[in-house]
Amino acid sequence: MTELNLILLGPPGAGKGTQGERLTSAQPLEYVVTGEILRAAVRERSELGLKAKGFMDAGELVPDELVIDLILERVRGEAASDGFVLDGFPRTIAQGEALDAALAQLGRDLNGALLIEVPDEEIVRRLSGRRVSQSGRVYHVEFDPPKVEGKDDVDGTDLIQRDDDKPDTIRKRLSVYHAQTAPLIGYYEERGLLHRFDGTLGVDEVADHVAKTVSTLRLEDDV
């Protein structure tokens, strides 16, 4: 089986995490979520994790080079021998170019960029409707409401809207996405790697479209 190396693209709230989990549970691909591997490295106090912690403790962004080193450490593992799905990186064209160069040193290439497209106002609707309990249970005022409005189903405490889920904050995040990350769409499209998916469809329908595309990529790469 030829390895298949993919990245997930799309705005915050598009459902990349859900689709990444669905895909990697059905395919022998390692799911590499940059935020998670960064937190794990810090928690495990690995050499790279300690370096990252130094930047984080100083209130600084972890350098791209260090993030790429963490990614490479993960994709070198046996779990990624058949390929990987990368979520959360790259976020800029410069990062995309750096990732390409780093993977090339391992003799690996990206086979596809999976873009989940959702209009801004739908993103705002999805994220701004979230409510959270003190215990961390998550509801949605429209899609998954509590039994009693504004109250946690389990302990009856008040539900809150996190600052990150307020419409103004979401729109600022989307503005950053369009300015910094969206240019990657053209970057991968020019190389024939981009595959678009309508993220407004149901989760199962999107997952089915993604799975069919990935199966086709696998067949094309095996020919």
Residue 196 annotated as catalytic: no
Exactly one of 74, 108, 130, 131 is catalytic; which is it? Answer: 130
Exactly one of 125, 137, 166, 173 is catalytic; which is it? Answer: 173
Exactly one of 16, 22, 108, 131 is catalytic; which is it? Answer: 16
Residue 16 annotated as catalytic: yes
Interior angle at CA 120, CA 140 and CA 144, nearest 5:
10
C-alpha–C-alpha distance, residues 143 and 128, integer Å: 12
Looking only at the bridges linking them, the beta strands covering 112-117 and 194-198 are parallel
Residue 45 annotated as catalytic: no
C-alpha–C-alpha distance, residues 78 and 90, integer Å: 23
Q: Are 33 and 85 in contact (CB under 8 A)?
A: no
Exactly one of 43, 76, 162, 191 is catalytic; which is it? Answer: 162
C-alpha–C-alpha distance, residues 41 and 38, integer Å: 5
Q: Provide the angle, in degrees to the nearest 10, between the axes of the packed helices 167-176 and 120-128.
A: 140
Residue 173 annotated as catalytic: yes
Exactly one of 91, 137, 151, 196 is catalytic; which is it? Answer: 91
Residue 131 annotated as catalytic: no
Which are the catalytic amino acids? 16, 91, 130, 162, 173
